[in-house]
Amino acid sequence: MPSKKALSLTATAAAIALGLTACGGDTGGGGGEGEPLQYGYILPETGDLSHLGPPQISAAQYALSEINTAGGVLETELPDFLAGDEANDAAQANDAANRLVDQDADIIIGAAASGMTQAVMDTVTGAEVVQCSGSNTAPGLAEEDESGYYWRTAPSDNMQGPVLAEKIAGDGHQSVAITYRADDYGEGLANAAATALEENGIEVVYQEGYDPNSSNFDSVVGEISGAEADAVVLVSFEEGVQIITGLIEGGVEAAQMYGTDGLNDETLAEKVDAENPGAIEGFQGTAPDTGDEGFVGDLTAFDEDLEVLQFAGQVFDCTIITALAAEQAGSTEPSEFVNEIEAVSKDGTECSTFAECRDLIAEGEDIDYQGVSGPIDFNSEGDVTSATFQIYGYDAEGVHSKQDAITVTE
């Protein structure tokens, strides 16, 4: 199926030809190579996952500013992002995807939620538009795409599960209760964690999903408390705040609780108990690393209102690496540069900024982009094979911090 851009270029070429006949002018270039690379995003601006929107949108915009500061892609500055709201609603996300495709997006960043990507993937990749998500973690998601146009810089939950299990084992726990939101993200990560825990000799005494749209989680809290496990794993987004609050009120200590990337929120303590943020002292979790300290400092200077940083580094890397693929291909046509995305992520001269990598490409070098979120290293299916995870936690004042960073290679 030809891309929307290819169709529009045909019409444009015809118009240029007529113009040349009439006035004998010079076009100064031709084909898709003269058009600037156009990015769009489908990210949660509204809905129950809207807390994941600001860090990803800001990171994408920051990456675009870095690209344009360096002179753009193929010496052409890029226009602003085309915006789409996934709203954690499949129909709305797909409407956004159709609109961005019709507006001739070459690359779409997102969706944020794995389920929303499943809702839009065929629309995006079927139009031969590159899709890159910085936060899709559901196992097997990349394998579902047969087009080769889908990529993700967020590591699969099959990589995060063992990191979480080793942390729990290292803390000396022998039995664990796992509760998770009943969707692809929750079930995939819960299963990966359970398998890894059992491989570490830890008994999983409870493993049940819940409806994330429920208005009351008392039954979930009661079942977890009744399991009498040493530790509790919560694979949740913001609805997990209610479960944490209920468990604390029921006598389960925060230091017995472990979260994942969905609860890696710098404002979590205030959401759990605004009057006593220290109530979650000792709560820990694992998540794909948000980015190195230099990147975090630069991003928060770019957007001083940012409070949550989860997946910011991965989205920044999606934006930079796809731009570098276009540089490598010498083309802004997705069908051309999609074939270079894997190549610029590994097996070359290491570089870590758009400008540095772009200059190496211009010198004829093969490059290995080193992301702010980790090494990247894509495989042919669009998954990263190496990723950095952080151990995060909260102190007696409820202050969030990164306590450790662990790089995992498959």
**pLDDT at site 18:** 31
- 67/71 Cα distance (integer angstroms): 7
- CATH class belonging to 157-287+397-409: alpha beta
Return the CA Rg of the chain.
22
Question: 64-108, pLDDT tens digit by residue?
Answer: 999 999 999 999 999 999 999 999 999 999 999 999 999 999 999
- 42/137 Cα distance (integer angstroms): 16
**pLDDT at site 287:** 96
- 62/83 Cα distance (integer angstroms): 15
Beta bridge partners of 151: 132
Domains of the chain by residue range: 4-154+311-338, 157-287+397-409
- 18/20 Cα distance (integer angstroms): 5
Handedness of CA 262, 267, 272, 278 (dihedral sign): positive
Report the pLDDT averaged over residues 329-350: 98
Percent residues over pLDDT 90 in the chain: 84
pTM of this structure: 0.86
**pLDDT at site 124:** 98
Top-ranked range on mean pLDDT: pick from 1-10, 142-151, 317-326: 317-326
Residue 23 pLDDT grade (very low, low, confident, very high; cuts 50, 70, 90): very low
Residue 150 token pair:
């889908």
- 191/186 Cα distance (integer angstroms): 9
Report the pLDDT averaged over residues 293-319: 95
Mean pLDDT, rounded, of the chain: 91
Q: Do domains 4-154+311-338 and 157-287+397-409 have the same CATH topology?
A: yes
Residue 288 token pair:
């794909």
SS3 category, 217: coil
- For the cut 70, the answer to whether the pLDDT of residue 27 exceeds it is no
CA nearest 384: which of 147, 115, 134, 55?
134
Residue 267 token pair:
């404002």
CA nearest 42: which of 116, 102, 145?
116
Identify the H or E element spanning 79.
none
For domain 4-154+311-338, which CATH number applies: 3.20.20.70, 3.40.50.2000, 3.40.50.2300, 2.60.370.10? 3.40.50.2300
Question: 238-286, pLDDT tens digit by residue?
Answer: 999 999 999 999 999 999 999 999 999 999 999 999 999 999 999 999 9
Residue 199 token pair:
């491989």
**pLDDT at site 33:** 53
